[in-house]
Amino acid sequence: MIGIVLAGHGSFCEGLRDAAQMIMGPQEHLAVVPLGPAENLDEYREKLERARDEVDSGDGVLVFVDLFGGSPSNVSAYLLGASTEVVTGVSLPMLLEVLSARTGSLTDVVNTAVASAQLGTIRLADRIGAGGGS
Amino acid sequence: MTVVHMRIDNRLIHGQVTISWVGALRADHLIVSNDQVAQDEIQKMMLPQAARGVRTSVLSVEDTASYCDTEEAEKERIFLIAKFPADALQLLERGLKPKEINVGNQAPIPGTKFKMVMRTLAATPEDADAYRKIASNGYRLTCKMMPNDRPTDFLEVLQKKGL
């Protein structure tokens, strides 16, 4: 099973985990690493590395970060390697997709995550034929 | 040289910097200045990408000072980010004359005798000395979170905290 680490500004990743577990129930091999406003980035890197080791069951780990270019994303680059990947711009639909399909290879799971990014954003009026606007 | 703004921030380039400050300063070149970061291959790859399209250099203090002396630099609006107050002080001692200096974030470094002087700003007695030396070069050191915030005098903040 691919391990998952959620990293982000403030309590973003805790909120994301809560939302996912509310929908899918408790999840294994899932860790959160929130970045506080006065956090030292060297310490944050160590926390990320510890979380990665914690959730790794030997099949690899996918680290999700909230914002490309933000500090969690910049620091997560140190973790990249053969058994660790990082995907930025995580959303709830993306996380749910991955949580329900994380028995494949790390590459498969990364592809699932990236592909789900667009599928999760829909203009609701298009779906229910309400039209409206132009 | 046209260093329009020097920021002291050990989180370097991040959302606050790129979203609020780069635009307000109309900066066209971001320079991150610190000897250690200039040798960190990962940061050198990530920081320019974090800057959302603004030209970005990651240089040692010495290379920053040399670059700012060039004709090319004179035509630019440089936004300089010094990682620590000691880097900023060294840059001033090397002759840099930024138009203004602001203190951004300084996350505490474990194992040092720091005090939190503001919510996201830690300072040690050595830092406080460096800040005072910076100010003695004729600067009013501010600590504004956003470009349009009312400027707070940072030396007064340090004094209130007994530093």
At residue A132 the predicted structure's pLDDT band, cuts being 50, 70 and 90, is: low
* pLDDT tens-place string over residues A101-112: 999 999 999 999
Residue type, A34: P
Q: What is the pLDDT of residue A79?
A: 97
**Mean pLDDT score of chain B, rounded to an integer?**
94
Mean local confidence (pLDDT), B40-65: 93
Q: With both helix axes pointing from N to C terminus, report the angle between B125-135 and B85-93 in degrees, rounded to the nearest 10.
A: 30
Say whether A40 and B119 touch across the interface (CB within 8 A).
no
What pLDDT sits at residue B17?
Answer: 84
Residue B14: the pLDDT is: 84
Q: What pLDDT sits at residue A131?
A: 59
CA distance A102 to A3: 8
Report the complex ipTM.
0.76
Q: State the DSSP H helix or E strand holding residue A93, giving kind and residue range, or none if neither.
A: helix A92-99
Q: pLDDT band for B50, please (50, 70, 90 cuts).
A: confident
The Cα of A72 is separated from the nearest Cα of chain B by a number of Å equal to 9
Between B146 and B63, the higher pLDDT residue: B63
Judge if pTM exceeds 0.95: no
Range scoring the smallest mean pLDDT among A42-56, A69-83, A88-102, B1-15: B1-15
Express as a percent the part of chain A with pLDDT over 90: 83
Percent of chain B with pLDDT over 90: 84
Is the pLDDT score of A98 beyond 90? yes
A44, closest residue in chain B (CA to CA): B107
Token duo for residue B130: 């460096």
The phi and psi torsions of A23 (rounded to 5 degrees) equal: -90, -40
Q: What is the pLDDT confidence band of residue A47, given thresholds at 50, 70 and 90?
A: very high
- Contact assignment for A70 to B50 by CB distance below 8 Å: yes
| CB atoms A38 and B52 under 8 Å | no
Report the distance separating Cα A65 and Cα A6, nearest Å: 6
Rounded-to-integer distance, Cα A72 and Cα A69, Å = 8
Cα–Cα distance, B77 to B26 (Å, whole number): 7
Q: Determine which helix (DSSP H) or strand (DSSP E) holds B61, and give its type and residue range.
A: helix B61-68
Minimum Cα–Cα distance from B18: chain A residue: A69
Q: Does B116 touch chain A (CB under 8 A)?
A: yes
Q: According to the model, what pLDDT value does residue A133 have?
A: 52
Which of B45, B110, B116 is opposite residue A38, by nearest beta carbon? B116
DSSP A10-67: TTHHHHHHHHHHHHH---SSEEEEEEPTT--HHHHHHHHHHHHHHH--SS-EEEEES-
- How near does any CA of chain B get to the CA of A97, in Å? 27
Of B127, B131, B130, B129, nearest in space to B140 by CA? B131
- pLDDT greater at residue A61 or residue A68: A61
Q: Which residue has the tokens 């590395």?
A: A49
Whether B120 sits inside 8 A of A37 (CB atoms) is yes
